[in-house]
Amino acid sequence: MSKLRVHSLATFMTKTKSAAWKRIPTSYLLCENDKPVPLELQESMIATVKREGGDIDTERLFVSHSPHLAMPDKVAGFLRRAAGENCRDGAWSQN
């Protein structure tokens, strides 16, 4: 928690002009033990993206709201897979 920093309120209050997920394939890491953003809300957001034609891949971790702090290796693997690398079971190779 000591690594967390203040986040600008403007990012929550400013209306977006577009949604990148409508044009760019997207990956989402579901945090199954997230209290601020409950799993049901995360699943609802994913359903909305799919319903509106978004291309979204998901993975799940039983982790709280800050998976990058609690499970950095798992998050790094998720990001590498999202970027196109095959890194299951510790094997790292470009697709």
User: Could you give the residue numbers annotated as active site?
Assistant: 34, 65
Q: Are 33 and 62 in contact (CB under 8 A)?
A: yes
45 DSSP β-pair partners: none
Helix ranges (DSSP H) in the chain: 10-13, 39-51, 67-70, 72-82
Task: Name every residue whose Cβ is closer than 8 Å to that of residue 68 and which is 6 or more positions away in sequence.
Answer: 75
